[in-house]
Structure 1
Amino acid sequence: MIDSSKQDLMRTIQVKFPRLSKGQKLIAEYILKQYDKAAFMTAAKLGDSVGVSESTVVRFANELGFSGYPKLQKALQELIKNKLTTVQRIELSNNYITMENALKGVLKSDMENIRVTLEKINPKIFDEVVNCIFNAKRIYIIGLRSSTALAEFLGFYLNLILDNVKVVAYGVSDIFEQMINISKDDLVIGIGFPRYAARTIEALNYAHGKGTKVVAITDSLLSPLATKSDYTLIAQSNMASFVDSLVAPLSVINALIIAVGLREKEKISSIFTGLEDIWEEYKVYSFKNDTLF
């Protein structure tokens, strides 16, 4: 399924090929054969590579239905984002983020990710996931590599509300050993974004084979995590650089935690009352008043 968007773009180029100009055909042939390289080229550089002008490259993008070359380039980058090495991601970020605009550029990118997430996420699926959390006998959360922080965050707060949550992580035992007792009454929540961690995909496949309900928090319905899941929560994670953008995924996870908490208001109030006493007794947090005297 991951290759469907690639096939759509490549098919569009093939269908339009006979009507293209001679110069545009050279561009089309180059992209069909080396789309992974073309994704990192400016219009001028792509034109130089095939021996045509920059304006010809722009007209080629228009011919494919894109408003400009940057839109075509973005589509090409989407095709290969899961295959990008860290070095390629650095090269990609250099096209958009500079030392002068790093703060503003990254913040604007993250704002756009949240905006797109709000448009893409399905509220009904979100509510069904909340129901699944309450109906599950046990809840397993797995997110590896850069998604580890997200999995730990979700696990930390769900553990305060519920008492049946386990975060599956790398450690002394393999992830499959930690999931050996999963059953159809349980729930597995998998978190992953490009580049998708292979072990997370394998874990979801294992759970799916056991008849366990699977929820994926990922960037697209074309994600390999989504193909293994019963429910998918979409969170945009377009990267502004070699660092993964986890702002929108974290926002979705925050919403999930709060939605679960709202159903357990009395329990949460009791838990945090007890925790406040413990925190104060054992000086878990630094209180400002303590520093005044």
Structure 2
Amino acid sequence: MTMEQNRQDLMKLIQLKFSRLSKGQKLIAEYILKHYDKAAFMTAAKLGQTVNVSESTVVRFANELGFSGYPKLQKALQEMIKTKLTSVQRIELSSDYMSEENVLKSVLKADMENIRATLEKINDSTFEDVVNSLFRANRIYIVGYRSSQALADFLAFYLGLVLDNVRLISNGVSDVFEQLLRVKENDVVIGIGFPRYSSTTVEALKFARSKNAEVVAITDSLLSPLASSADYTLIAQSNMASFVDSLVAPLSVINALIVAVGIREKQKISETFETLENIWDEYNVYTYKNKSTI
């Protein structure tokens, strides 16, 4: 089901239920139908205040639509719009529910919620399958653009310390398809992407799939365009905080992936870091040097 279908289904549900709603609930319905983008980021109290009804009326409205509570309705609204908003629209919306005084706590709480939701959604068996695929792979390609590029860089850096066959698809002179030119069966391509999804990453995974490579997607939903080309999909929630994408939960999943690979290659990684420590000391890579005790 596409995001557009989700929007149409929820809007249609509200329209179908409209005649049976109370006077106060109809005010809520009318506001959501006209301003669903703003309603998605309002608390029940804020939405009630906006249309001059009580918070309990908002909760009952959500129940009338078949949701177990207002947070479930709010989540449905957020899922419906998160791929459609421009950065300017995100800024405008965030100003309605987030002030300078509460921004720190609001963002930290949102990130905590993203990690909690990721714990519930991610599939342990799929995670194990991804780890196994990395050890089977001839070559491992990592793709991530826009805000996800930082995640791709992080994964490639640490995974490259453990495995010798890791290649980061860079955002440089070479076109992404040139860098994936020799991808083939028994290779693994990891694509990282969150709303608003990079079309380059989506097309890169489609290309890898056409070459019979195993494809791993690290994304926010099985409905993500990355997931449609993937053999394995690792779900990490990434609800936005204003114009900034929240990448805390995706980074945690990537950390877990790196650690899982490292545990299987414990001896090798110990030797690697022992060598690196000597190099770092010799070339003053860090300001602090390890000194042996007497």
Same fold per TM (> 0.5)? yes
Partner SS, residue 220 of structure 1: coil
Aligned partner of 1:50 in structure 2 is none
Shift of 1:208: 1.3
Distance in structure 1 (CA, Å) of the matches to 2:41 and 2:105: 23
Unpaired runs of 5+ residues, structure 2, are none
Pair 1:43 & 2:42 matched: no
Closer/same/farther in 2, CA of residues 40 and 116 from structure 1, 3 Å limit: closer
Amino acid at match of 1:197: S
Shift in Å, 1:118: 0.8
Task: Tell me which amino acid in the other structure corresponds to 1:238.
Answer: N
Report the residue type matching 1:91 in the other structure.
Answer: E
Change (3 A) 1:284 1:13: same
Distance 1:157 1:179, change over 3 A: same
Counterpart CA distance in 1 for 2:202 and 2:156 is 19
CA distance in 1, matches of 2:106, 2:31: 31
Match of 2:128 in 1: 127
The answer on whether the counterparts of 2:38 and 2:93 sit within 8 Å (CA) in structure 1 is no
Corresponding residue SS for 1:82? coil
Superposed CA deviations along residues 172-199 of structure 1, whole A, max 9, x for unmatched, are: 0111111011101111100011111111
Match of 1:240, as an amino acid? A
Which consecutive unaligned segments of at least 5 residues does structure 1 have?
A: 48-52
What is the aligned residue count? 285
Q: Following TM superposition, by how much is the alpha carbon of 1:238 offset from its aligned partner in structure 2, in angstroms?
A: 1.2
Compared with structure 1, are the counterparts of its residues 104 and 22 closer, same or farther at alpha carbon in structure 2 (3 Å cutoff)? closer
8 Å CA contact retained: 1:141, 1:168: yes
Q: Is the 8 A contact 1:46 1:57 kept in 2?
A: no
Alignment partner of 1:164 is 2:165? yes
Q: Which segment is superposed worse, 33-42 or 199-208?
A: 33-42
Which residue in the other structure is 1:107 paired with? 108
* TM-score (structure 1 length as normaliser): 0.87
**Residue 218 (structure 2) pairs with residue 214 (structure 1):** no
Aligned to 1:2: 2
Asked if the contact 2:219–2:236 (Cα under 8 Å) also holds between the matched residues in 1, the reply is yes
Q: Which residue of 1 aligns with 2:273?
A: 272
Distance between the aligned counterparts of 2:223 and 2:262, measured in 1?
A: 30
**Deviating more after overlay: 236-245 vs 225-234:** 236-245
Using the TM superposition, give the Cα deviation of residue 64 of structure 1 relative to its aligned residue in structure 2, in angstroms: 1.2
Aligned-pair identity (%): 69
The DSSP-based 3-state class of the residue aligned with 1:285 is coil
- Over residues 193-245 of structure 1, what are the superposed CA-to-partner deviations in whole Å (9 max), with x where a residue is unaligned? 11111111111111112211110001111111111111000111112221111
Q: Secondary structure at the match of 2:245?
A: coil
- Which range moved further: 99-108 or 264-273? 99-108
Task: Give per-residue Cα distances to partners, 1:44-68, cap 9 Å, x unaligned.
Answer: 5864xxxxx5357665434213466
Worse overlay, 281-290 or 198-207? 281-290
Q: Distance in 2 between matches of 1:250 and 1:289?
A: 28
RMSD of the TM alignment (CA)?
2.5
Report the more deviating stretch, 192-201 or 34-43. 34-43
| Structure-1 residue corresponding to 2:95 | 94
Runs of 4+ aligned residues of structure 1 deviating over 6 Å after TM superposition are none
Deviation at 1:11, TM superposition (A): 4.3
The alpha-carbon deviation at position 111 of structure 1 amounts to 1.2
